[in-house]
Amino acid sequence: MLSQLTLAQSTGDGNYGLFAIIGVAVLLFVLFAVTLFLASRYRRCPSNRILVIWGRSGKESSKCFHGGGRFVWPVIEDFAYISLEPLVIEIPLEGALSLNNIRVNVPSTFTVGVSTDPVLMANAAERLLGLNSVQVREQAQDIILGQLRLVIATLSIEEINKDREKFMNLINENVGQEINKIGLELINVNIRDITDESGYIVAIGQRAAAEAINRAKVEVAQQEREGAIGEAQAIRERNVRVAQEKALADQGQKEAERQKRVAVAGYEAEALTGEAESHRNQDIAVAERKAETVAASKRAEQQQRVQVAAAEADAVEGENTSSAEVAESNAKLAEVRAEAKRRADVAEAEALQRIYTSERDRELARLAKEQIAPQEIEKQRIEIEAEAKAERARREAKGDADATLAKYEAEAKGVQQVLEAKAEGYRKLVEACAENPQVAPTLLLIEQLPELIAEQVKAISNLKIDKITVWDSGGGSGGGRTGNTTADFLSGMIGSLPQVHELAKQAGIELPGALGKVSDKPIIDTTAEPGPDEPAKV
């Protein structure tokens, strides 16, 4: 009975363990399945798509996410993706009416795409979710065509053709606002060409080209004119600059010559200073060498005395070697004393040498301070004063020489001009008298006659003559003719007066009253000789 109870108990425990294992396995399986199911409901959003989740009740019809991942509840929520890839839309716009009622063709290309802005993503989820790219392109194309026509209608042909920036800004503004309503944004606009059937744009281009050509011709002519003016100005400035540079070169040459003369004088002064310095150094060196010679002589005498003492000690030692041990002991004692004395003498000599050297250096320093230094200072002062006086004299002499040279040059130039003018006048005078060459010297003599007469008059003008008494010896004048010397003088002088008056009259000169005047009355013969006792008449 007991064994049966034990068997039943063991059987019950085994069944309980089996049930527990089965329960744990089932629980793990359920947990794994639930985890796998939940993981399958977690949706990740790539960067080129928008994740749209909808189905839960709320204020928003859907939720849009760009990037990352979201959990989508089963049964109550669902999801879809919207592509962000750009769409290229060809717009073959033709016959669009402009502001001035001219139809134009504006073929263009627009690039659009779904925006990642939260508001625009919500618009795209509401209006583009579930549509393929072709359907989205058709919707955007209709919107772009309408807005492009509207923009062209607000602009004239001139504004479209010239102000492309304004045209593009209006397209971006109007088209962008309209496609934003369906969740798209404008990425790029490319206007390929603008044409019209009437040829108005071509005519505008031709007119602009003609205006540009005419303007270019005018600018070319203006530039040529400015170039010619600039060339003339450059030539004038070049000539002026060349003249200035030549003047500066001459001035620089004169300045260099002056600096050269000043530098040469300075170098000569420095040479003299250096020569005096070298003489002074030579005297100092000679004095030092003499002092060193005296010191060396003293050292030689000292060594001689030491060597004599040593020789004497050696002699005494040689003489005492044959003596007894007492004499040897005395000799050794004498040798020790001699060595001590020698060392003392050497030490004393060295000490005296150092003392003499110190005294020499001190004496040299004192001489240099008391005598040489004042003499050097005085010498430098004298040299500086002499150099200053020489420089002042040189500059004054140079100034006087320059002034004298300028004066002589001016005088020479004036004399040269006067001589050249006279030479030109003489040349013309000779040319005028080519038919009668003897007239030219006569005219030149007449030209100089006033100066000659003025000098003659000046020679006797200051003489004070109260009376003139002429005594005649009554002798003949020789030559076989008897006559009076005074009479001959007076006759000659009076005979020459008419010619002098005639010459002065021709030259336009008024002679002094002392020379008399020429009368129009008949001339009386005055050549008759007076008697021997009659005085001559003046």
Angstrom distances, CA of residue 436 to CA of 422, 429, 432: 20, 11, 9
d(CA 70, CA 65): 8
Q: Which class for 284: exposed (0-12), middle (13-18), buried (19 or more C-beta within 10 A)?
A: middle
CATH number for region 85-198: 3.30.479.30
d(CA 11, CA 5): 10
Q: In this structure, which amino acid lies at residue 380?
A: Q
d(CA 52, CA 292): 117
Q: How far is CA 444 from the centre of its chain?
A: 67
Which residue(s) pair with 111 in the sheet?
88, 188
CA-closest candidate to residue 65, choices 88, 87, 42: 42
Instruction: Identify the sign of the CA torsion 27, 28, 33, 38.
Output: positive
pLDDT digits (tens, 9 = 90+) for 474-524: 444 444 454 555 566 666 666 666 777 776 676 566 666 656 666 665 555
Residues of the chain falling short of pLDDT 70 = 1-15, 38-40, 57-58, 315-324, 327-328, 434, 437-441, 443-445, 459-497, 503-504, 506-538
Q: What is the pLDDT of residue 5?
A: 45
d(CA 242, CA 229): 20
Q: What is the pLDDT of residue 112?
A: 92
Which residues fall within 8 angstroms of residue 144, CB to CB, at 6 or more apart?
89, 91, 110, 175, 178, 179
pLDDT digits (tens, 9 = 90+) for 16-41: 777 788 888 888 888 887 777 766 67
Which H or E run includes 89? strand 87-97
| φ and ψ at residue 154, rounded to 5 degrees | -95, 0
Q: What is the pLDDT of residue 532?
A: 47
d(CA 82, CA 130): 8
d(CA 426, CA 143): 111
Which residue(s) pair with 96 in the sheet?
104
| φ and ψ at residue 81, rounded to 5 degrees | -115, 145
DSSP code at position 517: -
Which residues fall within 8 angstroms of residue 160, CB to CB, at 6 or more apart?
98, 104, 152, 167, 194
Which residues fall within 8 angstroms of residue 530, CB to CB, at 6 or more apart?
484, 487, 536, 537
